[in-house]
Amino acid sequence: GSLTGLPIIETQAGDVTAFVPTNVISITDGQIFLETDLFNAGIRPAMNAGISVSRVGGAAQTDIIKKLGGGIRLALAQYRELAAFAQFASDLDDATRKQLERGVRVTEVMKQKQYAPMSVAEMALTIYAVNNGYMDKADRKKVVDLEAALQAFAKSAYKEALDAINAEPVLKKHEETLKKICDDFAATGTY
């Protein structure tokens, strides 16, 4: 048999160092750190991707999401670090500015709407698009609208392809399809 435990721990002022020596880390399969600042900024779920960990996560994900999602986690963690630094720096080089802009877009598409679950294919399409720069030129305030337009386009023009991704979610089989959907959508001029 197995035992499921869901400990909930409150840190003082977000100080996770006090949490480390407890026995909780050893009895759980991972930790999700939620932050009040992220919640107040409208980011839901308000999870800190930089310090949240999972020992099971990769095994529980489909191949396509696991492979596409690695870049998202890294982009979010780097963005949060750079955003804190950028508040104090007036002169940012182009690479840093681009990384910050990508982080804004990743954050926007990762905001989860209540009662709006997405299929594996829809998640894969969004992650592929943001990872590969298809949303980089969009106005940061219109990223969510752009994502919705991309999803609507894919559902109308590529329904069979989305069904195939849902049936067999393997990145190697569908990466070209995701690229084609994004390229064809970009050609519509909706960006």
Cβ-proximal residues to 122 (8 Å cutoff; 6+ apart), any chain:
151, 154, 162
Q: How far apart are the first and last CA of the chain?
A: 52
Q: Count CA within 13 A, CB hemisphere, residue 2.
A: 5
What is the H or E stretch that residue 187 is in? helix 171-187
Q: Which amino acid is at 10?
A: E
The answer to whether 53 touches 31, Cβ cutoff 8 Å, is yes
Q: Where in the sequence numbering do the catalytic residues fall?
A: 55
Q: How many angstroms separate the CA atoms of 35 and 22, rounded?
A: 20
Q: State yes or no: cis peptide before 7, omega within 30 of 0.
A: no
